[in-house]
A = this chain, B = another copy of it.
Amino acid sequence: MQESGGKRKKGLEELRRKLDERGGHMTQQRAAVYDYLSSVEHHPTAEEVFLNVKRQVPKISLATVYKNLEALVACEAISKLSYGDGSARYDIRTDHHYHTRCLSCGRMWDLEAARGKSALEQIKPQPGFTVSDFRLELLGLCKDCKK
């Protein structure tokens, strides 16, 4: 499930650069958290990251996972999402994009924002409110659940 060596190494170098900018250090635990997020297609919870990273760094604590996820969000290496239910989820992508969510199975997918951006800009907030970002989810039924 891990990316190929070269690509992975490149990701970690990029991460180090981003950490450096804010005076953050690269650690084994941090690299493992980032690496795990790079290796999965979906958007896992902190708990899920913890359980998986533990296999590579058995002594890592849940608090460390949380602190690292926070640090990675702060240096814009990953982004934090919420599906609206319990726990927050983390996404290796930091570019502007949205999500589709299946109301039946709960799974989510990325939605390319290319067309969305200009469409969203047509929607105006109340006077005096300055918009800095959009959050958009399309809710419905996925291919599998429609059967």
- Quickly give the copy total for this chain: 2
Residue contact A139 to B146, C-beta cutoff 8 Å: no
Q: A136 and B123: CB pair below 8 A?
A: yes
Taking a contact as CB atoms under 8 Å apart, the answer to whether B138 and A129 are in contact is: yes
Asked whether B103 lies within 8 Å of A129 as measured between CB atoms, the reply is no
B residues near A146, Cβ cutoff 8 Å: 128, 130
C-alpha gap A28/B139 in the complex (Å): 35
A115-B123, A132-B139, A134-B139 are known; give 17 further A-B pairs, CB within 8 A: A82-B83, A83-B135, A84-B84, A100-B125, A102-B129, A116-B123, A119-B119, A119-B122, A125-B140, A129-B140, A129-B143, A130-B141, A131-B138, A131-B139, A133-B140, A135-B139, A136-B137
27 CB < 8 A contacts A-B: A82-B83, A82-B84, A83-B84, A84-B84, A84-B88, A84-B135, A100-B125, A100-B126, A102-B129, A103-B132, A109-B126, A111-B126, A119-B119, A123-B136, A123-B138, A125-B138, A128-B143, A129-B138, A129-B141, A129-B142, A130-B140, A130-B141, A130-B146, A132-B140, A133-B140, A135-B135, A135-B139
